[in-house]
């Protein structure tokens, strides 16, 4: 049986209190920092993972080496542990524990593959309800900055609830540019259909499974957002007095941005691609949901912890401490279908999921956000791990309702 190819990179790990910053080489051999990089030269590892019900078809692994792994003492990113073994992880510590190994074998510690973090396909799902002007503004914003192509989206799904002629005109207006950028819009919905977010996500995840570029085992990543969110990027700039401030420059939206460490030597350049690849890495390292907005101010800050990935800052907290909100979010479809789709299916027929707001029982619509917040859907008891964009990451999604 022919094996699917899984692309993986090397682990970058550091002692307690230091943050790992991986560096990669691109196709031209140039070194650069950022998210997961699978475009450079890869090496056949010879490792084949057999077929199983859990992992799907056989997998053959291609390993992309790091050019370097830097450990930075950046308190804003670095995690701490008091574990007597984990706190000392380093090449030196490994050499001292295994002095009998051949030097060539010992050096391989720096390039140990991170088998579990792979190049997963990203899909974008946009939901719209009777707001064609907001949809138009959102699509214009994304396509103007080549957003879908830059994050390497394999598909863009647009769910039009109560679909209208004006909705179709908006999609037709942007379809040519989207297709030219390699991300044609796949449009669904009808004049009668009105899917709640849970059902819309379920539909999109199943479409991703059928997509020719979808993951063979359904491990697709979905970025889901409603029609009235637009991307903005700030830039950290150095002023004359050495003060680093955040400045919004509309003319440079979507370009690379900077994150400032504790000192000038800890200044790193990131791109939009790095940000999303960092999110994809998190979703394979124990995080269930990645919010592309800052963490809410309300939840207990003491319950949060730094959870960096690929040198990018994030803040983690459990779902017991922070609610679901209909804001731009990313998650793995296999996770959503396993744990939350049954509630979406239940919402089709069970009045407990449609009966809280006036008028909803008659339409059969479930307010997915409220059902998450009042305990009808498994959320607070589940302790899902949620990563939110760190406040100092200079990009954001702004809510702009054009239709009023």
Residue listed under structure tokens 């790992």: 20
Average pLDDT in the chain: 84
Model pLDDT, residue 303:
86
Model pLDDT, residue 299:
58
Residue 308 CB neighbours (<10 A): 23
Whether the pLDDT of residue 327 is over 50: the answer is yes
Residue 143's SS3 state is helix
Q: Tell me the pTM.
A: 0.88
| CA dihedral angle for residue 142, residue 145, residue 148, residue 150, rounded to 10 degrees | -160
Taking only the tens place, the pLDDT of each residue in 17-46 is 888 888 765 544 455 555 566 666 688 999
Percentage of the chain surpassing pLDDT 90? 46
Q: How confident is the model at residue 254 (pLDDT cuts 50, 70, 90)?
A: very low
User: Rounded to whole angstroms, how far apart are CA atoms 344 and 330?
Assistant: 18
Taking each helix axis from N to C end, the angle separating 165-180 and 132-144, rounded to the nearest 10 degrees, works out to 10
Taking only the tens place, the pLDDT of each residue in 83-142 is 988 899 988 899 898 889 898 888 889 899 999 999 899 999 999 999 999 999 999 999
- Give the residue among 77, 69, 79 at the shortest CA–CA distance from 16: 79
């Amino acid at each position: 049986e022919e094996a699917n190819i899984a692309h993986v990179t090397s682990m970058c790990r550091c002692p307690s209190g230091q943050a790992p910053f991986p560096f990669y080489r691109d196709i031209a051999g140039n070194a650069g920092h950022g998210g997961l990089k699978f475009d450079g030269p890869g090496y056949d590892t010879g490792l084949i993972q057999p077929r199983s019900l859990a992992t799907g078809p056989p997998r053959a692994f291609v390993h992309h080496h790091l050019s370097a792994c830097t450990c930075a003492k950046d308190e804003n990113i670095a995690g701490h542990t008091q574990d007597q073994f984990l706190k000392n992880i380093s090449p030196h510590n490994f050499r001292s524990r295994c002095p009998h190994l051949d030097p060539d074998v010992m050096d391989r510690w720096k390039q140990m593959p991170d088998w579990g973090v792979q190049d997963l396909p990203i899909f974008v799902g946009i939901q719209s309800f009777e707001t064609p002007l907001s949809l138009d503004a959102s699509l214009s914003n994304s396509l103007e900055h080549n957003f879908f192509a830059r994050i390497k989206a394999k598909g863009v799904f647009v769910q039009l609830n109560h679909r209208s002629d004006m909705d179709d005109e908006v999609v037709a207006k942007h379809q040519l540019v989207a297709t030219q950028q390699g991300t044609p819009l796949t449009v669904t919905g009808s004049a009668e259909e009105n899917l709640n977010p849970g059902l819309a996500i379920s539909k999109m995840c199943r479409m991703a499974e059928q997509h020719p570029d979808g993951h063979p085992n359904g491990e697709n990543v979905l970025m889901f957002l409603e029609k009235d969110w637009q991307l903005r990027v700030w830039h950290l700039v150095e002023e004359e007095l050495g003060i680093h401030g955040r400045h919004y420059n509309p003319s440079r939206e979507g370009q690379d941005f900077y994150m400032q460490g504790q000192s000038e030597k800890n200044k790193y350049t990131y791109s939009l691609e790095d940000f999303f690849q960092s999110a994809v890495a998190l979703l394979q390292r124990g995080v269930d949901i990645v919010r592309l907005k800052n963490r809410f101010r309300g939840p207990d800050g003491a319950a949060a912890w730094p959870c960096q990935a690929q040198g990018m800052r994030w803040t983690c907290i459990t779902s017991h401490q922070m609610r679901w909100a209909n804001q731009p979010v990313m998650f793995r479809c296999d996770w959503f279908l396993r744990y939350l789709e049954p509630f979406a299916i239940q919402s089709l027929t069970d009045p407990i999921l449609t009966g809280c707001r006036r008028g909803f029982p008659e339409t059969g619509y479930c307010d997915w956000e409220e059902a998450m917040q009042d305990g009808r859907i498994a959320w607070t008891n589940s302790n899902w791990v949620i990563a939110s964009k760190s406040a100092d990451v200079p990009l954001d999604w702004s809510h702009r309702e054009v239709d009023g």
